[in-house]
């Protein structure tokens, strides 16, 4: 039987970076290729109904092996895409056996290193085996590790009929990394009462608080004129973009915040003299504070329009997802069962506010309460991303234990 890390290595061959400029669903054809491969794998394991819909969502069912079972249907969900703002093609993996706690040289030519001086939690993995890259790309454990663990759980259940479980639903989504993973997710068709996304970091993580999220697009109209006769006439849109950003609090940028502290993040900027555009991510765990951030953005636009003329600055804002905590709390068995299962496996349950979101953030508001579990991987969205082989195995065991717990509910 395959271990989860072996599946992850296989999945790294699929170049599934999602594209936020695309208007298709999914945003890239490579995700469809990966989805079709997953469907075939699911069928080979025994999931007779495994299929991918026209929008790239992969669903399947592990039927209950308890006679006349009518209990709670639990689901496990992971996403197929990876970010594309870090190199994500031609991924080359390497296994560091029996990690000794020292610095790992991923790429000598580029002096790309991975070690406990920068990442103190690596000391937790001394004596274990780590899956790393050659320092040129991400690994894609976010979230192909989750897919690997879910399907390794499935294979284990199919090959060990003595493990009693109820009906289990499996779902793999496209485009999570561009915030569209739940856009066309058919909750009714999926058919679970509750679910877990398997899309976190260390084994033992149980996440049920996320940011409230919005974005703000700021459009700036400049006045372009020959520089030789520009005095009192030229309005440089690119400079106005810089001025706009300077009016936001420096201490409320992502690099200066932690825990429950929200932020303004300038995600993209482009401009010439005539026009400029900025794309901001607004984040806060407290919805009222997120709304206050929107007010600040609008107030800066009003101030600059007063200074440079009406319609110089225009703002468009839209909410992306909301903190799922209030949707999870009425179904606290999801957290209790996860804590209990992790403890039974010798782990320490840890819950901290997620400084981001998952598909579960939106699915929880769509009627599918959906906290998030760790995958045994770290440093997502970067070239130092790695996964621990033994922690991935533990994550598989966790999914099996949860399946057993819900078999009796």
Catalytic residues: 81, 176
Taking the CA atoms of 30, 32, 36 and 38 in sequence, report the sign of the dihedral they define: positive
CA distance 197 to 78: 6
Say which residue the tokens 């999926």 belong to.
190
CA distance 234 to 240: 11
CA distance 308 to 347: 59
CA distance 274 to 221: 6
> How many helical (H) and strand (E) elements, i.e. helices and strands, does the chain have?
10, 17
Q: Which residues contact 366 (CB under 8 A, 6 or more apart)?
A: 182, 185, 187
The verdict on whether omega for the bond into residue 143 sits within 30 degrees of 0, i.e. cis, is: yes
Taking the CA atoms of 20, 24, 30 and 36 in sequence, report the sign of the dihedral they define: positive
Q: Residue 47: which of 34, 31, 61 has the closest Cα? A: 61
CA distance 250 to 158: 54
CA distance 384 to 282: 26
Q: For the chain, what is the largest distance between any 2 Cα atoms, rounded to a whole number of angstroms?
A: 86
Q: 239-272 burial, b if ≥16 CB within 10 A, otherwise e?
A: ebbebbbeebeeebebeebeeebbbbbbeebebe
Q: Residue 224: which of 239, 213, 244, 214 has the closest Cα? A: 239
CA distance 290 to 296: 10
Q: Angle, to 10 degrees, between the axis of helix 29-45 and the axis of helix 141-159?
A: 20
User: Helix or strand or coil: residue 105?
Assistant: strand
Q: Which residues contact 360 (CB under 8 A, 6 or more apart)?
A: 77, 195, 196, 197, 199, 210, 324, 370, 371, 372
């Amino acid at each position: 039987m395959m271990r989860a890390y072996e599946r992850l290595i296989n999945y790294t061959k699929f170049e599934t970076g999602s594209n936020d400029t695309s208007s298709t669903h999914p945003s890239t054809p490579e995700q469809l290729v990966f989805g079709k491969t997953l469907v075939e794998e699911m069928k080979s394991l025994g999931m007779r109904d495994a299929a991918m819909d026209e929008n790239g969502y992969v669903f399947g069912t592990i039927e209950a092996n308890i006679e006349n079972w009518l209990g709670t249907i639990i689901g496990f969900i992971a996403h197929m895409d990876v970010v594309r703002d870090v190199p994500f093609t031609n991924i080359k993996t390497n296994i560091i056996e029996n990690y000794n706690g020292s610095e790992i040289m991923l790429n000598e030519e580029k002096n790309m290193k991975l070690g406990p001086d920068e990442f103190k939690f690596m000391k937790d993995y001394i004596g274990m085996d780590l899956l790393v890259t050659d320092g040129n790309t991400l690994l894609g454990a976010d979230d192909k590790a989750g897919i690997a663990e879910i399907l390794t759980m499935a294979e284990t259940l199919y090959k060990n009929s003595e493990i009693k479980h109820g009906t289990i639903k499996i779902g793999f989504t496209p485009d999570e990394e561009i915030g569209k993973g739940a856009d066309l997710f058919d909750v009714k068709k999926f058919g679970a009462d509750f679910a877990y996304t398997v899309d976190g970091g260390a084994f033992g993580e149980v996440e049920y608080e996320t940011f409230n999220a919005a974005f703000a697009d700021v459009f700036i109209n400049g006045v372009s004129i020959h520089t030789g006769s520009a005095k009192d006439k030229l309005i440089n849109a690119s400079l106005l973009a810089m001025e706009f950003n300077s009016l936001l609090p420096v201490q409320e940028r992502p690099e200066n915040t932690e825990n429950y502290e929200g932020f303004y993040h300038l995600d993209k900027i482009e401009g010439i003299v005539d026009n400029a555009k900025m794309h901001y991510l607004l984040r806060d765990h407290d919805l009222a504070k997120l709304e206050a951030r929107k007010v600040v953005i609008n107030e800066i636009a009003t101030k600059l329009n007063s200074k440079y003329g009406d319609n110089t600055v225009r703002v468009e804002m839209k909410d992306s997802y909301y903190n799922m905590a209030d949707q999870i709390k009425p179904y606290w068995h999801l957290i209790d069962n996860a804590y209990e299962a992790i403890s039974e496996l010798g782990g320490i349950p840890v819950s901290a506010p997620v400084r981001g979101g998952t598909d579960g953030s939106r699915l929880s508001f769509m009627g599918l309460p959906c906290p998030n579990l760790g995958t045994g991987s770290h440093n997502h969205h970067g070239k130092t991303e790695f996964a621990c082989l033994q922690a991935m195995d533990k994550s598989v065991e966790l999914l099996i234990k949860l399946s057993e717990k819900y078999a009796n509910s």
